[in-house]
Structure 1
Amino acid sequence: MTSGSLPGRAFLAAAVWLAVALAPASAQDLAAAHSAAAAGEYDAAIRQLRGADDAPHVRLLVRTLAEVGRYDEAIAAARQYEGRHPGSVAVANVLGEVLAATGDATAAARAFERAAMGGADDSLDARYNLARGHLDAGRTDRAREELEAFIDTYNRAERLSSEELAAVAGAVRLLAVWDWRLSRDALRAYDEAIAADPGNLEARVLVGDLFLEKYQGTEAIESYEAVLERNPRHPGALLGLARQRRFAGSAEAMGFADRALETNSRSVDALVLRAMLWVELEDPDRAQADVQRALTVNPRALNALTLAAGVAFLTGDTEGFGRSRQAVFAVNPRYAAFYTTLAELSVRRRLYREAVDFAEQAVALDSLSWSGHQLLGINRLRIGSMDDGRASLERAFEGNPYDLWAMNTLDLLDTLETYRVERSPRFVYAIDGKEADLLAPYVSTVAEEAYDRMAARYGYRPEPPVRVEIFPDHQDFSVRTVGLAGLGALGVSFGPVVAMDSPSARGAGEFHWAATLWHEIAHTFHLGLSAHRVPRWFTEGLAVFEERR
C-alpha cells in the first residue's frame, strides 16, 4: 500500500456512498413511504424518503414535511433536489405550495410558473395554484379566466390522473361563486379523483370541505371520518371536523382543533380556527396568542390578519385594528371576507348594528360576497329593518341556493307575512293570526308594564318601536334566532327586536311566557344602556333578577 493510494480509495468509498444514498428508489420503496404517510406514520415516512433523488420520492417528502409543519425542511429538500438537477421543474409546484404557505407569494408564483410552463408532471396542479394566487391577491378577472380554462381541459382530456381531477375540481369549486351550479360539477370531479385513486386523502378532505361549505354537515363528517379511518392524525380532516363542530355549535370543536395542531403545530388554518373559538369564549388573550403564532408562520395570511383585526375591534384597540386592516388590504384589496368575518364576530358579541355595517362594506367591496348578503339580511332583520333584510336575503339565496340560513329565513318571512301586526307608540307586535285575538291584549299589557317599570328604574328608554314577535311553532322561533331549527331557548332579544315562543309552542305548564317576555324586554334595556357591550353572563343574571322582582 502506498501513501498515495489512500485518497483514491477514500474518494471511491465516498462516491459509492453518494451513489447509494442518492440512488433512484424503487416503486416498492415509494409505495411503502406513501403508505406510511397515508397512515399518519409521518416520521417513518420521512426517514424512508430521506436521501432519495428521484422526483416522485422528493415530492412526497416535501409534502409530508409540510403536512406536519416542518416547512423549512420541506423547502430545503426541494431546493436541494433542484440544486442537484439544474433546470428541472419536477418539484417546482410542491416547492411553490410550501412557499405560499409560509407567505412568500412572489417566490411561490415563480415556482408555479416554472412547473406550469415547463411541462412538469403536476403542471395542471401548478396552474390551479397560480389561479388561486391571483384570487388571493385580488386579481379576480385574471383568476376567473385561468380557472375557466380548466373546464376545457377536463372536456378535452382523454384521461386525467387523480391529482389532475382534484385540480379541476378545485378550479370549478372556485368558479361556483359566479355560477352556483358549478358546485355540482366540482363534486363530480372530486368523486372521479377518488375513484381514480382511493388513497387520495387530500381529495376526500376537499370533498368534506365542499359539503361543509354547502351546509351539508352530515356528508362532511362522513368524508372527514373516512380519512381518519386511514390516518387518525390527518390534520386536514381533523380541522374539517373542528369546523363542522363549530358550525353545529358543539364544544367538541376545540378538541378537534387541538388534535389538528398536535399533528401540525404550525398549521395557520388550525391556529386561526382555534383563535376564533377563543374569541367566541371571550378569551381575547388566548385568541391573540394563536393569531400571532399563525402570523409567525405566514405574515401574509389573510385569515390570521383578519382575526387580528377582529380581536382588536372587540377589545377597543383602534390602532391595532387599523394596522391589521391595512395589512389585509395590502395583500388583497378585494378581500370581502375581512368584513364578513368582522360581521360574524360582531354577532357573537350581539353587536348587530355593527354587523350590519361590516356586511354592507363586504357587499360594497364584492357584490358576489354571498355570505356578506346573507349576514346583511339576517342582521337587518335583527334590528327591525324587515324589508331591507328580505331584499338582502333574496340576493344571497339567488347567488347561493345552498345557504340554509338564507333559505330558512326567507321561508320564515313568508310565514310572518301571515301574522297580524299591531302597533303602539313603543311597540310593534307580530302575532300569528290564529292567536292574535287571545294573545295580543296580554302581550301588550306585560310589555307596556315592563317598559314603564324599567324606564323608571334605569332612566333609559329604548328607541321605539321595539318589535315583539310571538311564534306558535318553536322551529320558526329557532330560525328567527339562529337561522336553523333546534335552538333550545324560549326567547331572545336582539335589542330592537324581541322574539319568543307562544304559549302554544310548548306543552301546558312548560314555561311562564309572561316571565319570558319580561326577561327579554329586560335584555332590550340592558343592551341599549350598554351599547350592546355588556357581558352575556351579567345581562343574563340581571334579566333573571328583573323577571323575578
Structure 2
Amino acid sequence: MKPLATFWLAAVSGLAAFLLPAAPIDDARKAYLAGEYNATIHHAKAATAARQWDEEARVLHIRALLTTGQYVQARAITTNAIAKLPHSVRLHWVSHEVHHFNNDPKAATNALKEMNGLASRMAWRYRNAPDLVVLGQMALLEGADPKLVLERLFDTAEKDDPNHRSVPLAKGGLALSKSDYTLASRVFQLALKKHPKDADIHYGVAKSFEGTDRKVMRQHLMAALAANPNHIPSHLMLADNIIDREAYKEAEKLLADVLKVNPEQPEAWAYRAVLAHLRSDRAGEKAARERALKHWKRNPRVPHLIGKKLSQKYRFAEGSAYQRAALAFDDKHLPARIQLAQDLLRLGQEKEGWAMAASAHDADGYDVTTFNLVTLKDTLDKYRTLKNDDFILRMAPREAEIYGPRALALLQRAKDTLCKKYGLKLEQPTTVEIFAEQKDFGVRTFGMPDNPGFLGVCFGCVITANSPASQMPDPANWESVLWHEFCHTVTLAMTKNKMPRWLSEGISVYEERQANPAWGQSMNPQFREMILGGELTPVSKLSGAFLAPKTGAHLSFAYYESSLVVEHIVDRFGLEAIRKILHDLGKGVEINAAIAKHTEPMDKLEPAFAAFAKARAEALAPKLDWTKPTPADLKAGVEAFAKRHPKNIYMLRRQARKALADKKWEAAKAPCRELIALFPRQVDAENAYVMLAKAHRELKEFTEERAVLRRFAAMTDDAYDVYQRLMELAAEAKDWAAVRENAERSLAVNPLLAPPHRHLAEAAEALKQNDAAIGAWRIVLRLDPRDPAEAHFRLARLLHAKGAPEAKRHLLMALEEAPRYREALRLLLKMNEKGKQ
C-alpha cells in the first residue's frame, strides 16, 4: 500500500506544480497589458521553453508580434505553435489574422474551418472562458446569430470565469459593433470594477461615449494610455478626434507615435491617407493607402476607415467610393454597407441608399443603425412631398398643409438671394426634410435617435431639420434655420465640400444677419465677457471649438466668433475675398493658403481679428458699468454697491426685477429706461424691454407697452409671446399692417398654433387681401380653433364673394357648430335667394 500512497502524493505534487503558474507567463501577461511588447516576446519565449504546452504564452507571443508589425515572424511562430498544439482554437483564431497579414486569405479561411471542425468534433474540450470567447468571435465572423453567440458562448464563458477580461471585451465589442453604445458602456464600466487598469477596457468605455460625451471619452483614453503608453487603439482614437478638430499636424504626431510601435500599422497608414487627401496630396494619399494594404491587400477595414473619415469631413462622394472599394474586397463587410447607405442618402441618391440600408439590415437584424434607418424609411414614406424646380421638400402631412408652401417659398428666396450673391448655379435640386419628431431627425442625420442640440444639418444637396413641433415649448425660428442651412448648400457646393467647419458656419450665421438683422447671433453680455476674458479661439483652431465645447454657451460662442471672422474679412477685404477663398478651397487649396492669398497671412489675420473682436465687445454699451459684484461686495451690502455703481448692469437689472416682484410698477420704469438708454440692443433673457413692457401693461399704459415691445420685436427672432401681445394690441388699434407683420413673425417661430393664422386672416380681410385671408382661414380650421363656427363663417363669406361653390358647405358647417349663428343664417338666406334667381 505504501508505494501506492507515494505514487498518489507524487501525482498530487505534480498536479499542484501544473496548476501553479510559472513566473515567465505572469511576466509575459503583465508586459503585454503594459504595452511592453518586446518584453512580452522575451517572457513568452521563456514561458514556452519552460512549458511547451503553454497555450497562453504562445498566443501572447504571436499577439505581440502582430502588434509590432512582425507579420512574417508571427506566421513562423504560429505554424510551430499549431504543430505543437493542433487542437488549440485560440491559436487557430489568432492564425486567421496572422495569415491575412501575410496576404494568404486561403490559409485565413482554412483557419476558421479548422476551428469549426474542432468545435464540432470535440465541443467538450472547449468549456473554459478564453476558448468559448474565441469560438464566439469566430461564429460572429461566420455570420452566426449574435443573440445565440451571446447567450450560448459569451454568457457561458462568464459563468466559467467571471473575472476573465476576454469576456467583457467580447461582450462590449459585440455591442459596439451593433451600435448599441448604452449596452457597451454598461458592460465596459462594470468590467472596470474588476480590471481598473486595463487599457482595452478603458478604450471600450471611451468608444461607447465617443458620440455623446467627449470629456468622458478623453478621460478613459488618458486612463488607457496611463496603463499602456503604447496602446495603439487609444492613440488612433485620439488622432481620429484631433482630425475632427482639423489639428492635422498634431494628428500626424500621434500617428508617428503609433508607427514607432508598429511601422506597418494599417489604420495609422489609413489615417495618413485621409490627411493626404485633405491636403489634396493625391500621390501621398495613394502611397499611404498602398502602405496600409501592403501586408493584407484586401483588408476591407482600410478603405472603410478612409471613407468613413472623409464622409465625416462631408466628402461623401469620395467616402462612398472608398466604401465601394471595401465591399469589393469583402461584400459582407457590414460597416462598409452601413456607411455606404448613409453616404448615398446624404448625397441624395435615395433609391440606392435605402436599398443598401435594407440590405444591411437583412444581413444583420441586430445592428441598431440599420434598424433605425429602415424604421425611418417607413415614416418618410408617409411624409408628403412638395416640389418645384429647385427643391424637394418632405414634411409630415399635417405640417405640409399648414406651412409647407411657406417653407418652400422661404427656401426659394434663399436660393435666389444666395446663389446670385455667391455666383453659383446649382446642378441639382436640394432635398429638404423637416422632421416632426427629434428622434427621426436624429436617425436621418446621425444614424441614432439622439440629437446633440442641432436644429438642422446640411450635407450639401440634402438638408435635414427639426420642425417646431419637435422643439416645444420654445421652438427656434425655423425660417432662419432653413436660411442658415441652405447657405451651407451654397458654400459646400462652391468648395466641393472642402471647407473647414468654422468658415462654413461663420458664413451661414453671417448671411442670417444679412438677410434679417433679427436673425443670427449678435454681440451680447455673455459673448462680451468671453471675448474680454480671453476666451477668443485663434482662427486657425476655430473648428476645434465646435467639437468639444466646455458648455453650450461655448458652442454658441464658436458660431458667433466664426461669423465675426467672416464679417471682419468682408469689412476689410470685401465679399469678393470670401468668394475667391471658397473657389480656391474647391480646387484643393489649403485654407490658410487661400486666406493668405486673398486677405493676409494667418499670423497677421489672427491678431487683427482679435483686435477687431475686442473692439466690438468694448463697443457694446460702453457707458454701462459692467463690473461684476464680488462676494465681498455683496456681503458688504448690495445697496452700497449700487450707490457706488449707479450705471451697473447687474444692479439696474436687480432693481428692475425687485420692483416687478414687489409689484411696484412705477418704480420698475426708471432702471429699465436707464438700461435701454445705455444698452439699446439687448435681447437676452433679462432684457429691460420685456420688464418695462410688463410695468406699462400692469399700469394699463397700453400705448407705451406697445411702443416698447415694437422696439424689442424688431431685434429678436423668436419672441413668440411678444409677437402675440403685439398682434393683440395692434388688432385693438385696427393697425392691420402691424397685425400682419407680427403674425408673420409668429409663424416664423411656430406655425402650428392657430392664433397667428387667425390674426393673419383678420388682417388680410381688413386689408382687402381676400385670397390671403381665404388661405389663412383654411389653415385655422386645420388647427382645431376654439371657435370653429366663426372660422367656417368667415371663410364661407369670403368664398361666397368669389362665387365659389364650396362657400355653402362651410356655411352649413358653421351652423352645425352654432345653429343660432345669426350672421350665418342671414348669409344662408342670401345664398338661397340667389339660388332661386
Pairing 1:131–2:90 present: no
- 3-state DSSP class of the match of 1:547? helix
Match of 1:4 in 2: none
Whole-angstrom distance in 2 between the partners of 1:198 and 1:381: 43
Equivalent residues of 1:113, 1:126 under 8 A apart: no
Match of 2:392 in 1: 428
TM-score normalized by the length of structure 2: 0.56
Residue identity matched to 1:219: L
Change (3 A) 1:152 1:25: closer
Of 19, 31, 41 in structure 2, the residue corresponding to residue 65 of structure 1 is 31
Whole-angstrom distance in 1 between the partners of 2:22 and 2:88: 14
1:415-494 correspondence runs (5 A): 415-487=379-451, 488-494=453-459
Of 468, 478, 490 in structure 2, the residue corresponding to residue 525 of structure 1 is 490
Match of 1:409 in 2: 373
Change (3 A) 1:282 1:147: same
- 3-state DSSP class of the match of 2:394? strand
Match of 1:174 in 2: 141
Change (3 A) 1:372 1:93: closer
Match of 2:471 in 1: 506
Match of 2:214 in 1: 250
Equivalent residues of 2:89, 2:118 under 8 A apart: no
Pairing 1:207–2:171 present: yes
1:77-476 correspondence runs (5 A): 77-80=43-46, 91-119=57-85, 123-137=88-102, 139-155=104-120, 156-159=122-125, 160-175=127-142, 179-182=143-146, 184-185=148-149, 188-248=152-212, 250-476=214-440
Of 514, 527, 535 in structure 1, the residue corresponding to residue 500 of structure 2 is 535
Whole-angstrom distance in 2 between the partners of 1:330 and 1:166: 30
Equivalent residues of 2:40, 2:60 under 8 A apart: no
Whole-angstrom distance in 1 between the partners of 2:205 and 2:467: 36
Residue identity matched to 2:140: R
Residue identity matched to 1:386: E
Aligned length: 498
CA deviation digits over 1:391-439, x for unaligned, max 9?
Answer: 1111211222222222212221222222222221211122222222222
Whole-angstrom distance in 2 between the partners of 1:82 and 1:422: 71
Whole-angstrom distance in 1 between the partners of 2:389 and 2:221: 50
How far off its partner does 1:109 sit? 1.9
Change (3 A) 1:252 1:118: same
TM-score normalized by the length of structure 1: 0.85
Change (3 A) 1:256 1:89: closer
Unaligned runs of 5+ in 1: 1-23, 32-54
Change (3 A) 1:139 1:191: farther
Whole-angstrom distance in 2 between the partners of 1:376 and 1:281: 24
Whole-angstrom distance in 2 between the partners of 1:473 and 1:203: 38
Greater displacement, 246-255 / 375-384: 246-255
Equivalent residues of 1:115, 1:123 under 8 A apart: no
Identity %: 24
Greater displacement, 502-511 / 392-401: 502-511
Greater displacement, 286-295 / 144-153: 144-153
Whole-angstrom distance in 1 between the partners of 2:50 and 2:432: 73
Residue identity matched to 1:167: V
CA deviation digits over 1:363-417, x for unaligned, max 9?
Answer: 2232112111111111111111111111111121122222222221222122222
CA deviation digits over 1:114-156, x for unaligned, max 9?
Answer: 2222138x93321211123234455444433432443443343
Whole-angstrom distance in 1 between the partners of 2:96 and 2:209: 30
- Compare CA radii of gyration and give the structure with the larger one: 2
Match of 1:8 in 2: none
Equivalent residues of 1:138, 1:335 under 8 A apart: no
Whole-angstrom distance in 1 between the partners of 2:425 and 2:360: 35
- 3-state DSSP class of the match of 1:330? coil
Match of 2:752 in 1: none
Equivalent residues of 1:215, 1:402 under 8 A apart: no
Match of 1:76 in 2: 42
Unaligned runs of 5+ in 2: 1-12, 515-837
Equivalent residues of 1:137, 1:333 under 8 A apart: no
Whole-angstrom distance in 1 between the partners of 2:182 and 2:244: 24
How far off its partner does 1:316 sit? 2.5
Whole-angstrom distance in 1 between the partners of 2:287 and 2:16: 51
Equivalent residues of 1:466, 1:498 under 8 A apart: yes
Equivalent residues of 1:168, 1:186 under 8 A apart: no
- 3-state DSSP class of the match of 1:251? helix
- 3-state DSSP class of the match of 1:331? coil
Match of 1:41 in 2: none
- 3-state DSSP class of the match of 2:293? helix
Greater displacement, 468-477 / 152-161: 152-161
How far off its partner does 1:173 sit? 2.8
CA deviation digits over 1:205-241, x for unaligned, max 9?
Answer: 2221122112222322232223211231111101111
